[in-house]
Amino acid sequence: MTNCKPYPTPVDTKPKLGACNDIPYEDPTKYRRLASTLQYFTLTRPSISDAVQQICLHMHDPKEKHMNALKRILRCLKGTADFGLHLYKSTITTLLSYTYADWGDCLDTRRSTSRYSVFFNDNLISWSSK
């Protein structure tokens, strides 16, 4: 993927990634290894947290469709290699939190998905996606 074309976003915004009757991915161990590595990247790249969480749901039985979604995240990282968390000195002394919930969003389990992010001053200090 060194010479791949970068994508500006980590996921396709139209279809949702769910269990499918697609062709099984030929090397599930490779898929799991790449997905685990992407989990590490979410520590400094919260913008991919939701996309990584979605591909990790299919580590037990990855399909070609899931591998294509994983590759899209890699292409996004390539295109945004200079991005990251930045901490700035600020005169604002507030704690601000944003939350998001979507009830029944998961196509496989029909469970809700939720996300939150917490800022102190202008700096992101905590986030999660489930």
Say how many domains are in the chain. 1
Give the pLDDT confidence of 64-86 residue by residue, as tens digits. Answer: 999 999 999 999 888 887 776 66
* Structural domain range at position 120: 95-129
**Rounded Cα gap, residues 74 and 90, in angstroms:** 33
Is the residue at 32 inside a domain? no
Closest CA to 14 of 53, 69, 61: 69
Is the residue at 71 inside a domain? no
Is the residue at 113 inside a domain? yes
Tell me the pTM. Answer: 0.65
Is the residue at 109 inside a domain? yes
Is the residue at 120 inside a domain? yes
Q: How confident is the model at residue 38 (pLDDT cuts 50, 70, 90)?
A: very high
Is the residue at 15 inside a domain? no
Is the residue at 115 inside a domain? yes
**Rounded Cα gap, residues 35 and 84, in angstroms:** 19
